[in-house]
Amino acid sequence: MRLFSKKKRANTEKTVRDPAEHTNRPSPALTGDLKADAAEIRETFHHDNDVIFREITIADVTPIPVVLMYIEGLTNTELIEESIITPLLDQKENNEARNLLDKVKGRLASSNMTTVRDFDSGYRALLAGNTLLLIEGVAEGLVLHSKSYQERGITESQTEVLVRGPRDAFTEVLRTNTALIRQRLRTTDLRIVSLAIGTRSNTDIAVIYIEHLAEKRIVKEVFERLKKIKVDSILESGYVEELIQDETFTPFPTVSSTERPDAVAGKLLEGRVAILVNGTPFALVVPSLFTEFYQVPEDYYQRSDYITLLRILRLMTLMISLLGPSLYIAITTFHHEMLPPTLLISLYAQREGVPFPAFVEALIMEVAFEIIREAGLRMPRAIGQAVSIVGTLVVGLAAVEAGLVSASMVIIVAITAISSFVIPAFNMGVAFRILRFPMMGLAASFGLFGVSIGCIVLSLHLCSLRSFGVPYMSPMAPFNMNDQKDNLVRVPMWEMIRRPKLLNHTDKIRESGSDR
């Protein structure tokens, strides 16, 4: 049973139109006429004063005119002077070379070089921070590696804080992020495949997986969905997440994100696929399961008994976040007999003079708290936390003293809000914050019967979800006994011999030579 309409990824090309369809036309090829080719590139960048053109004549038996092009700020100018310009101006001759291109390459043998044959490829190379070299009489351009980005240093994660574990986190530079994964997984089976998505942004994307661990059908599906993306720009991994997810109209995330390289490495070892996007520290991991969103990387760095207790606590707070106000509304409105007489008298004494029913009370407090939470999140960090705390106290006390809400309702809303902060994944916490409001409406309309119906419908929807073909609620639905070792309960590491069943069908055993 599906509550929300489904949007198949196969329709991506139809639903996401390319706003620059003219860019699909074949790119003009380089002619080999140095003046004409350089003039075409100058015309393209005629308003951009950061694009540098340098005309050089290479000393040889026959002088060779060339034009050097690069974008200031994206390139390492010292590297260009020392490794490109100086060797080109050197007086040595290379008579063994067969043609002009080989002569130039011979002088730059130590550089990382590729060739391009058309203007669009040359533009992409320039905009990526490389240097483009055009040679008179050669209908190819020489692309020389000279990238130099001002990047943020590797620091501790601000969104996924751990008590014990590595302190490094991804940065905005793609190659730095892939190196952080390489440091942890020193295996020749690690595959890092690069793509460029976005007709105007040409954003670099890396698809990472471990060969023989990741299912071929999942890897193939990832590449197919990425190649179907037709947009003009990809500025953050959230763009990719929304375009490749299985379900569009569902509050639950079916693609997980993290900025911790140790978390990505652990998921790769289970047979998953990671997607890194240049310009953002958040990596995407697929397939994603519901159970992952109340687990953290630290679960594997601490003792198993302690982690099991924490996982149970997180699941309890998840349920409180969803059902806390709903249960209070249902019991105080329809099911008074469930409360002890003393507690019932106390609650009604608090509600004396309150003009609104319990549902309106809860709605007022929940909306007020959401406003305060969003204000604290968007304000400068130095005062945001203080505003959140003071605002919550002032609003709560003032509402009680004014007789708009009861003190018990303030307590329920506060406990619900604190419980939502315990959920490790922010996007899963948002899903339960959204669903809290319809559950409150069901409780106000039908009592505990409405809450039960809401939970049943929600369970059916969760069981209907898929993440790249893998059931979202596995290993609970479908139930798999072996995978329960790392679900709600985390057994000792020496007991977790097998990899997740639905994610890996080839190399199932974690320990080499084990037959368990």
Summarised one tens digit per residue, pLDDT across range 99-113 is 777 777 777 755 578
Examine the fold and report which residue of 95, 126, 144 is the final residue of a domain before the chain moves on.
144
With respect to residue 65, please indicate whether it lies within any of the assigned structural domains: yes
pLDDT (average), residues 204-231 = 91
- Report the SS3 class of residue 162: coil
Side chain identity at 466, as an amino acid letter? R
With respect to residue 255, please indicate whether it lies within any of the assigned structural domains: yes
* Nearest in space to 174 (alpha carbons), one of 258, 284, 279, 274: 279
- Check whether residue 36 and residue 92 sit in a common domain: yes
Q: How far apart are CA 351 and CA 357, in angstroms?
A: 9
pLDDT for the residue 352: 80
- Report the SS3 class of residue 133: strand
pLDDT for the residue 457: 94
Long-range contacts of 396-403 (CB under 8 A, 24+ apart): 396/365, 399/364, 399/365, 399/368, 403/353, 403/354, 403/355
- Check whether residue 278 and residue 358 sit in a common domain: no
pLDDT (average), residues 354-359 = 86
Residue 303 has pLDDT above 50, yes or no: yes
Q: Give CA 499 to chain center in angstroms.
A: 24
Q: Give per-residue pLDDT as tens, 389-409.
A: 666 667 777 777 777 888 888
Q: How far apart are CA 121 and CA 54, in angstroms?
A: 20
pLDDT for the residue 177: 92
Total domains in the chain come to: 3
Q: Residue 459 sits in which domain range?
A: 304-470
Helix axes 407-422, 341-350, angle to 10 degrees: 100
Side chain identity at 261, as an amino acid letter? P
Q: How far apart are CA 21 and CA 142, in angstroms?
A: 28
Residue 478: asked if its preceding bond is cis (omega within 30°), the reply is: yes
- Check whether residue 329 and residue 421 sit in a common domain: yes
pLDDT for the residue 445: 93
- Check whether residue 415 and residue 311 sit in a common domain: yes
The pTM for the full model equals 0.81
Report the share of the chain in percent with pLDDT over 90.
Answer: 26
Q: Give per-residue pLDDT as tens, 79-93.
A: 888 888 888 887 666
- Check whether residue 380 and residue 439 sit in a common domain: yes
Q: How far apart are CA 466 and CA 69, in angstroms?
A: 48
